[in-house]
Structure 1
Amino acid sequence: MQHHDGDLADTQQEHWQRTYAVHPGMYGQEPSAPAVHAAEVFRANGAKDVLELGAGHGRDALYFAHEGFTVQATDFSATGLEQLKDTARSQGLAERMTTAVHDVREPLPLPDASVDAVFAHMLLCMALSTQEIHALVRDIRRVLRPGGVFIYTVRHTGDAHYGTGTPHGDDIYEHGGFAVHFFPRHLVDSLADGWTLNEVHAFEEGELPRRLWRVTQTRP
């Protein structure tokens, strides 16, 4: 992503704000399949608190809270997080949930080694440059406690939308106003440098269907 594409990320933030405003709860209340899997992994690893990046209106964050975890949910859409907070209050989960508006291009607002687990469903494959993705994963490693687990999902270069739509460079293509950074396998491997890479699981989601990897890695 070239220098001018900082504007792309800003435009994407505005786009997501409008989308959540027009389509509240757009992904429904059922958790994603990766979140259900992540909860099992986190519990088996002894995790008690979870940081979710790119939580949106919170279907997965709410699921983690229902499953007994304390959850810190971040997103760059204040609109999405307001919907999350309203639902958490209505479901009696407010005490288990904190939220923060945060742009992952900036350092995470958390102390070193302060969380047990981190989850990010399709956050890393948004309008972020490869350099920004590497910086984010380094910061995730910083906030995870030793032995902590990071599970993320990304659309990859085997996806039907890869190479189509509006190109922005750095494997980023835009469709219907949504920009996606499609991951080649070597990017997954490079992001696991200094970690234990536990699993790269291929799966499909949605109507296209989108083709994704679910990646599990552990901080030594």
Structure 2
Amino acid sequence: MADREADLADSQRRHWQNTYAAHPGMYGEQPSDPAVHAASVFRTAGARDVLELGAGHGRDALHFAREGFTVQATDFSATGLQQLQDSARAQDLGERVTTAVHDVRDPLPLQDSCVDAAFAHMLLCMALSTKEIHAALGEIRRVLRHGGTFIYTVRHTGDAHYGAGTEHGDDIYEHGGFAVHFFDRDLVDALANGWTLNEIHAFEEGDLPRRLWRVTQTLP
């Protein structure tokens, strides 16, 4: 990792850790709309276990667990994951949810072909280089079983914050302390190479509003 990329990664890690500490449960208890959709897709596909990357304090991981899935949740914020664990125990879901502190830039601490489905809500559009995003997809592909489904969401180049704030190169812009890699369609298509690209769904979220794609792809 180049020094500039490493510095940005470290600053974002500290920023998220501090944000979760200052604002416990900052996204609320209700699951995101993409997670509700993903649970339905995963159930239809016959999935039993779900890997969530970038789970944060766990509103979506807990939704998957309540829906009957076994969930492995990862995030690079130990503070966020501790909040997830506390909530899981409080909701009697502790046996369905396991957590691991993990930076998506690193290999996943999982065996090959060990999960049925994977989910990532706005993780891949964090402060990751295009190379790091491709490497992350390679790891997700490695741990999914044949026929497994991956659903992810990303902010795209039609978003109002694209081109605003501090530019870090590689379509990464920092605004309000949060660095975002905005996706264009070419990047989505490139990440689907070797997969079946089932759907690209445009939607909006939040007050700005943020403009995102929800992408569904499956392993052959």
- Residue 111 of structure 2 corresponds to residue 82 of structure 1: no
Could you list the per-position Cα deviations for residues 42-86 of structure 1 after superposition, in whole angstroms to 9, with x for gaps in the alignment? 000000000000000000000000000000000000000000000
Q: Residue in 2 aligned with 1:48?
A: 48
Q: Residue in 2 aligned with 1:187?
A: 187
Q: Is the 8 A contact 1:2 1:169 kept in 2?
A: no
Pairs within 5 Å for 1:62-101: 62-101=62-101
Q: Residue in 2 aligned with 1:29?
A: 29
Aligned to 2:95, what secondary structure does the other structure show? helix
> Taking every aligned residue pair, what percent have the same amino acid on both sides?
79
Q: Residue in 1 aligned with 2:102?
A: 102
Q: Residue in 2 aligned with 1:130?
A: 130
RMSD: 0.9
Q: Give, in angstroms, the shift of residue 6 of structure 1.
A: 1.4
Distance 1:146 1:74 in 2: 22
Q: Residue in 2 aligned with 1:39?
A: 39
Q: Which amino acid aligns with 1:109?
A: P
Q: Give, in angstroms, the shift of residue 5 of structure 1.
A: 1.8
Could you list the per-position Cα deviations for residues 119-168 of structure 1 after superposition, in whole angstroms to 9, with x for gaps in the alignment? 00000000000000000001100000000000000000000000010000
- Residue 11 of structure 2 corresponds to residue 8 of structure 1: no
Distance 1:10 1:156 in 2: 24
Distance 2:2 2:92 in 1: 45
Q: Residue in 2 aligned with 1:163?
A: 163
TM-score, with structure 2 as normaliser: 0.99
Could you list the per-position Cα deviations for residues 88-146 of structure 1 after superposition, in whole angstroms to 9, with x for gaps in the alignment? 00000000000000001000110000000000000000000000000000110000000
- Give the aligned length: 220
Distance 1:71 1:154 in 2: 21
Distance 2:46 2:13 in 1: 34
Q: Which amino acid aligns with 2:120?
A: A
Q: Give, in angstroms, the shift of residue 219 of structure 1.
A: 0.7
Q: Residue in 1 aligned with 2:176?
A: 176
Which consecutive aligned stretches of 4+ in structure 1 deviate over 2 angstroms post-superposition? none
Give the 3 Å change call, closer, same or farther, for CA 76–89 of structure 1 in structure 2. Answer: same
Q: Residue in 1 aligned with 2:199?
A: 199
TM-score, with structure 1 as normaliser: 0.99
Q: Give, in angstroms, the shift of residue 174 of structure 1.
A: 0.3
Q: Is the 8 A contact 1:195 1:218 kept in 2?
A: yes
Distance 2:162 2:120 in 1: 21
Distance 1:202 1:195 in 2: 20
Distance 1:108 1:2 in 2: 21
Q: Give, in angstroms, the shift of residue 216 of structure 1.
A: 0.1
Distance 2:187 2:34 in 1: 20
Structure 2: unaligned runs, 5 residues or longer: none
Q: Which amino acid aligns with 1:151?
A: I
Q: Residue in 2 aligned with 1:149?
A: 149
